Amino acid sequence: MAFNILIVDDSRSMRSVIKKVISMSGFKVDQCLEAENGREALDLLALHWVDIILSDINMPVMSGFEMLEVLGKDSLLGSIPVVVISTEGREERMRNAFELGAKGFIKKPFLPEDIKRVLYEVIGVDDGEYGDNEGDDGDLDF
Amino acid sequence: MMESMETMKEMMETSIFEVFEKMFYVFLEPDGVECPDYDAEALVSFSGSMNGKMSLMLSEKVTKVMVKNMLNLEEEDITDREVEDCSKEAVNMACGNFLAKLDDTERFDLSIPVFLNSPRSVLRQGDDTISLNLISDDGEVGVIMQVFSKGD
């Protein structure tokens, strides 16, 4: 099964790194969409279905929390799992994210393995179902 | 809770090392020499139980290595936009990481980072600042953090 993924981060570099880590994790990606903020993400979601969203919190125009609030009010879009990837890894911020419906939280700076682990947890299938994990010793190198 | 400036300096150093090692594969160490002129600066403000600003100053050499390592690009493919983007992301992560170490239960809000092409930081060193001069084989990094209690 291939997944459609949406990465939301105002840093183009960070979006590139996340995209690369996902592809190296062995996830079969059909379409990888990118947005610079929550507003752009919602515009993309009006046109495309995605299976998982990875989003920063602190972004101009619309933050990740504001986007989570909007998604939570929509019965269809609210069913898409959201993983927050943020520098703001304090307990209180993580609790806020989960209260708003986030399914996972990755703190920046992260190791590639952190993203892989949370994606597997959130999507909820075994590594074997993704097929082409090279060697799959759990370690990823950039 | 306001930690001593010395404790905050140690936390800041740990945070910077963690960000540069994990995200940019740049291994820094403290440098005793006086802060040289830098080529770029990324600045972020924070507010919460205490307010402040963190400035990350970078030599051109280290910014190129950061971009190269983070994005796996060849040096000739690196643009100013990528240098700016990586520098802003670095200060954002360093500040967020530092604040989490300072007090994991306290709420702090971070501003959107800004990037400046300046040889000297816009922050001036004084009693309310913590500064670090760091060096690696890949170039120099300077950090100045200004902190003030709420209401200052």
**What is the spatial distance between Cα A84 and Cα A68, in angstroms, rounded to a whole number?**
10
Query: A25 lies in a domain?
Result: yes
Pair A29, A7: CB distance under 8 Å: no
Question: What mean pLDDT do residues B23-33 have?
Answer: 89
Query: Has residue A132 been placed in a domain?
Result: no
**pLDDT 10s digits, B75-133:** 899 999 999 999 999 999 999 999 988 887 778 889 999 999 876 677 777 778 899 99
CB B15 within 8 A of CB B102: no
Q: Return the residue matching tokens 């740990």.
A: B14
Residue A141 within any structural domain of the chain: no
Q: What is the pLDDT of residue A126?
A: 53
Domain boundaries, position A47 = 3-123
- Cβ pair A88:B70 closer than 8 A: no
Q: Is the pLDDT of residue A132 over 90?
A: no
Please indicate whether residue A129 or residue A101 has the higher confidence score (pLDDT): A101
| pLDDT higher than 80, residue B50 | yes
Least confident of A130-134, B1-5, B34-38: A130-134
3-state secondary structure of B107: coil
pLDDT of B150 over the 90 cut: no
In-domain check, residue A130: no
Residue A111 has pLDDT above 60, yes or no: yes
Question: What are the backbone angles phi and psi of residue A36, rounded to the nearest 5°?
Answer: -85, -15
Please state the separation of Cα A6 from the chain's center in Å. 7
Count of structural domains within chain A = 1
The kind and range of the H/E element at B10 are helix B5-24
Asked, for residue A47, whether it belongs to a domain, the answer is yes
Q: Which of A93, A109, A111 sits opposite B97 (nearest CB)?
A: A109
- Residue A133: is its pLDDT beyond 50? no
Long-range contact pairs involving A99-103 (C-beta distance under 8 Å, separation at least 24): A100/A65, A100/A68, A100/A69, A100/A72, A101/A68, A101/A71, A101/A72, A102/A68
pLDDT above 70 coverage of chain A, percent: 87
Which chain A residues touch B if contact means CB-CB below 8 Å? 10-14, 16-17, 20, 58-60, 86-93, 107-111, 142
For residue B86, give the chain A residue with the closest CA.
Answer: A13
Name, in order, each residue with C-beta under 8 angstroms of B47's C-beta and a sequence gap of 6 or more: B108, B109
Q: At what angle do helices B5-24 and B60-71 cross, to 10 degrees?
A: 50
Please, what is the end-to-end C-alpha distance for chain B in angstroms?
A: 16
Question: How many angstroms separate the CA of residue B114 from the nearest CA in chain A?
Answer: 12
Which pLDDT value is given to residue A47?
A: 96
User: What's the confidence (pLDDT) of residue B61?
Assistant: 93
Structure tokens at A132: 């082409």
pLDDT of A137 > 50? The answer is no
**B5-149: CATH homologous superfamily?**
CheC-like (3.40.1550.10)
- In this complex, the residue of A11, A20, A59 whose CB is nearest that of residue B85 is A11
Q: Residue A141 has what pLDDT?
A: 46
Amino acid letter, residue A20: K
Provide the shortest C-alpha distance from residue A120 to chain B (in Å).
21
- Cα–Cα distances (Å) from A99 to A64, A114, B12, in that order, read 13, 21, 30
All structural domains of chain B with their residue ranges: 5-149
- Whether A108 sits inside 8 A of B99 (CB atoms) is no
pLDDT at B2: 61
Q: Is the ipTM of this complex over 0.90?
A: no
Q: To which H or E segment does residue A107 belong? A: strand A104-107
Q: Name the more confident of A123 and B19.
A: B19
Which pLDDT tens digit goes with each residue over A1-21? 788 999 999 999 999 999 988
Measured between CA atoms, the residue of chain B closest to residue A111 is B22
Residue among B12, B120, B141 nearest B66 (CA):
B141
Instruction: Count the Cβ atoms, other than its own, within 10 Å of residue A96.
Output: 17
CATH code of residue A45: 3.40.50.2300
